[in-house]
Structure 1
Amino acid sequence: MQEGVDWRFPADGPDAEAEEPNRTVTAGVTAEAVPQGNVAQQSGDQTPNPTGNLMKGEEESSVQDDEMITSVAEAVDPSLDLDPAAIPPLKRPGLEEPAEEDFSTMEELLQQEEYGMVQPRRGDVLIGRVISVASEGLLVDVGLKREGIVPAADLNRLDAKTRSNIKVGDEIPVYVLRTSDQDGNLILSVHRAQAETDWLRAQQMMEKEELWEGKVTGYNQGGLVVPFGRIRGFLPASQLVGFPRRLTGDARTARLAKLVGETLPLKIVEVDRRRRRLIFSHRAAWFEWKERQRQRLLEEIQEGEVRHGIVSSLRDFGAFVDLGGVDGLIHVSELSWERVEHPRDVLKVGDEIDVYVLNVDRASGRIGLSLKRLIPEPWSQVPEKYHVDQLVEGVVTRVTDFGVFVKLEEGVEGLIHRSELADIEPQRPRDLVKEGDLLLLRVIRVEPERRRIGLSLRQVSEEEWSQWAASYHGVEAPASADPAAEANEPTSDETP
């Protein structure tokens, strides 16, 4: 150090020196101001280090630098209380400390570097190319300087078709089970990779609220088992549309068992890979699925088609049939060619039937159906089957004041006017016949275009009636079996 050295701190502005004269130190700072130890070290033995330990020399130099900075700072401003340990080490230009790397073996060095390649971690899913297929497993190239091994035990967890389809040269997803076993091998799993792919797909579907259709493969007391790829998903009974909540015990189990094999519309509502939970909801998907099915069906269905459906409900005016997402209506007049009082006389809820599509209104979403149009229109064959003066048998279906309706066959009814019931016209036809009576009648008029057949009871002779009754019942019928004959017999009040 030389006397008269002007030690200046950087000025804060052009007038800083005038405002703070104390910051300029003109007093001489001599070697006496520096601790003797430092001087001694600086002027110490200059004999070259026989061991050539450069690092040791650098450490000693650093200590000397720290002490010198402290001494100079105290000389400039004695109020400063500096801890040498708090002062960062002085780095000399051009000298950089090497990174601390400790490679115990060449193998670890190679594994660490892998020639700049990113190393896989447990749980990673990689795409690899099969380079060998053997009974012990697969050898797979995943782009590293070492191949991965898929053990045979992992392959045995795959279905037979998937195993048989794996060939040399195929690119397949593999899951990293272990980055290195005791022999340094990279252990992979095809089965886990496929499952992880399914987990990822399930997560994406849940986030997008996508609709999915799954097939029920099992059940337990709590709900249904539905596979999703290679993951076993679960559908709680509480998330089933139409499932009675109050069912318990065997009744509940039996109801769930009936759903095995069914395909249901579902949405994924929970994905937890750590706990391996995949939860579905039928309720969340139901209304969206119904609307999709309805739109699809309305676009596809055509008049004149025959569709299969299930009777979903009955009303006084007709029956509703579920065609697979949308309901169509069979009006009561389209249930049968014969008169139907109420749809329940022909159908019941749950019946599986074929129906004829009468009309489709896509704007309103209404579909008209028919049951009777699936069989030939009975009246179209009436001219060939019935003619005047023919004897026919029929069952009384209705009795009115003006006459009696008689069913001749499915969809064909004739009318006995009360004037044709007996030679003496009865005032009240029901005094002569009742609903359900089986009668022998003569055809007196056929009008297929008007769907009318005129019948007569009084024009059937007693002999014809007796022969018919005997052949029908297997015994000789008395003459009194003829209602017309009974009606023609005078009462005691009419005897002269």
Structure 2
Amino acid sequence: MSEWSGRNLQMEEGYWQALLQEGEFAASSGEAPSQGIEMLGGPAQNRVPSDGRTAPLDDVWMAAQEIFENNGTLELEATGYNRGGLLVTWRGLQGFVPASHLIGFSPWLSEEERRAELARRVGQRLTLRIIELDPERWRFVLSERITTEEIRRREALLAEITPGEVREGIVTNLTSFGAFVDLGGVEGLIHISELSWGRVEHPRDVLKRGQRVQVYVLNVDRERERIGLSLKRLLPDPWETVEERYYPGQLVEGVITNVVSFGAFVRLEEGLEGLIHISELAEGTFLHPRNVVQEGERVTARVLSVSRAERRIALSLRQVDKPNGWWVQE
């Protein structure tokens, strides 16, 4: 159940009681229809929609659940009202929009004014968000106010967010190409290449869903509502000062992170990897670099060359034991 449904539980309970006691009021006649109340009883899968259609209601409830979980919206027409709010129908399901969740509905109206205002809204199309869903109790409750507030928040955020800013958000999804972060109504994407200065196999190796993170805003496309984000830009780029820490001939320690047909990559520090070319792995012949090293193995290697501009460090295993001055620079 959402936080909104909890706040309005009394109002919603009052609606269901009122529905049983006084029925529903349609826009055309203002009289209670002959159908609709009876469908509140019995197992959900055996009920017949109020419009008389037979429908696989289990499938409808499942579709509604998917919309609910994905924070989707529904465009529905108000088909009736009762003292608690408006009635809507979606694919045979009758739903309820509490008056407290209608935009511009005053809580200070008299009973007569309240009914008149609800009757006036029957026939209008509403943009709604599902706030409570319970097939066992036949509860399908929606809100207009939440949807509108979220749209306003989204528009305001898109208007004010600027490249170069640092924002806080919550990781909502991890995919093979990056991580989505909710910035407070708008989601931005951290592409996998922007997660770290080093190699990242999958975003889940760096982040987890629900994690709160600080992100750097790379770019904003307001028309397409797309925001590019970065984690690594909040950290110093280790390649900027690489030539101050590494030099040809130096012996270094690292961990093998990836073995490919042409050699092996070694992580020297966070965000910094060097390559041991296949020709520098070992003396003699071998079928594949995996015959020499494995991922996760810690090795000592000799630095052959360092290039800040090319973001490249060439390493050697084969020349580790050679005395100073006898190793061959790349």
Instruction: Indicate the TM-score class for this superposition, using the shorter chain for normalisation.
Output: 0.5 to 0.7
Secondary structure in structure 2 of the residue aligned to 1:435:
coil
Query: Does residue 283 of structure 1 match 2:66?
Result: no
Offset at 1:393?
0.3
Query: What is residue 238 of structure 2 aligned with on the other side?
Result: 378
Aligned partner of residue 347 in structure 1, secondary structure = coil
| Equivalent of residue 7 in structure 2, options 185, 205, 224 | 224
Query: Contact 2:179 / 2:192 at 8 angstroms: preserved in 1?
Result: yes
User: 1:235 touches 1:282 (CA, 8 Å); kept in 2?
Assistant: no
Report 1:23-38 matches (<5 A): none
Q: What SS class does the counterpart of residue 149 from structure 2 fall into?
A: helix
Give 1:394's aligned residue: 254
1:295 equivalent among 140, 144, 155: 155
For the residue of structure 1 that corresponds to 2:309, the secondary structure is helix
Q: 1:194-209 residue pairs with structure 2 within 5 A?
A: none
Answering whether residue 305 of structure 2 is matched by residue 445 of structure 1, we say: yes
Q: In the TM superposition, what is the alpha-carbon distance from 1:389 to its structure 2 partner?
A: 0.6
Helix, strand or coil at the partner of 1:340: coil
CA distance in 1, matches of 2:101, 2:177: 34
Shift in Å at residue 243 of structure 1?
Answer: 8.1
CA distance, structure 1, for counterparts of residue 197 and residue 106 of structure 2: 54
Unaligned runs of 5+ in 2: 16-66, 71-99, 115-130, 132-140, 325-330
Per-residue CA deviation, residues 441-474 of structure 1 (Å, 9 max, x unaligned), is 110110111111010111112899xxxxxxxxxx
For 1:267 and 1:322, how far apart are their aligned partners in 2?
26
Corresponding residue number in structure 2 for 1:367: 227
Which residue in the other structure is 2:42 paired with? Answer: none
Structure with more of its chain in helix, by fraction: 1
Q: Please give the alpha-carbon distance, in whole angstroms, between the structure 1 residues aligned to 2:256 and 2:157.
A: 43
Identity %: 53
CA–CA distance in structure 1, aligned partners of residues 199 and 155 of structure 2: 34
Amino acid in structure 2 at the alignment position of 1:449: A
Residue of structure 2 equivalent to 1:403: 263
Unaligned runs of 5+ in 1: 1-215, 227-232, 245-264, 465-496
Note closer, same or farther for the CA distance 1:273–1:225 as it changes in structure 2 (3 Å cut).
same
> Equivalent residue for 1:454?
314
Larger Rg: 1
Are 2:169 and 1:309 aligned? yes
Q: Decide whether aligned partners of structure 1 residues 267 and 386 sit closer, same or farther in structure 2, where only a CA change above 3 A counts.
A: farther
Partners of 1:303 and 1:272 lie apart in 2 by 45
Q: 2:291 aligns with which of 415, 426, 431?
A: 431
Which protein is richer in strand relative to its size? 2
Quick check: 2:191–2:229 contact (8 Å CA) kept in 1? yes
Which residue identity does 1:304 align to in structure 2? Answer: G
Task: Give the whole-Å Cα distance in 2 for the aligned partners of 1:427 and 1:312.
Answer: 44
CA shift, 1:343, in A, is: 1.5
8 Å Cα contact 2:282-2:292 kept in structure 1: no
Paired letter, 1:354: Q
Pair 390,462 (structure 1): closer, same or farther in 2 beyond 3 Å: closer
Q: Tell me, yes or no, if the aligned pair for 1:297 and 1:326 is still in contact at 8 Å.
A: yes
Change (3 A) 1:243 1:451: closer
Structure 1 Cα separation of the partners of residues 101 and 109 of structure 2: 19
Tell me the TM-score normalised to structure 1 length.
Answer: 0.39
Matched with 2:184 is 324
Contact 2:305 2:314 in 1 (8 A): yes
Q: d(CA) in 2 for partners of 1:284 and 1:223?
A: 16
Give the whole-Å Cα distance in 1 for the aligned partners of 2:251 and 2:222: 50
1:353 matches 2:213: yes
Query: How has the CA–CA distance of structure 1 residues 235 and 425 changed in structure 2, closer, same or farther, with 3 Å as cutoff?
Result: farther
Specify whether residues 390 and 325 from structure 1 end up closer, same or farther in structure 2 by C-alpha distance, changes over 3 A only: same
Q: Trace 1:325-344 onto structure 2 (pairs within 5 A).
A: 325-344=185-204
* Separation (CA, whole Å) in 1 of partners of 2:152 and 2:235: 32
Q: Which has the higher contact order (CA 8 A, sep 6+)?
A: 2
Q: 1:274 to 1:363 in 2, by over 3 A?
A: closer
Deviation of 1:315 after TM superposition, in Å, equals: 2.0
| Paired residue total | 213
C-alpha distance after superposition, 1:33-87 (max 9, x if no partner): xxxxxxxxxxxxxxxxxxxxxxxxxxxxxxxxxxxxxxxxxxxxxxxxxxxxxxx
Q: TM-score, normalised by structure 2?
A: 0.57
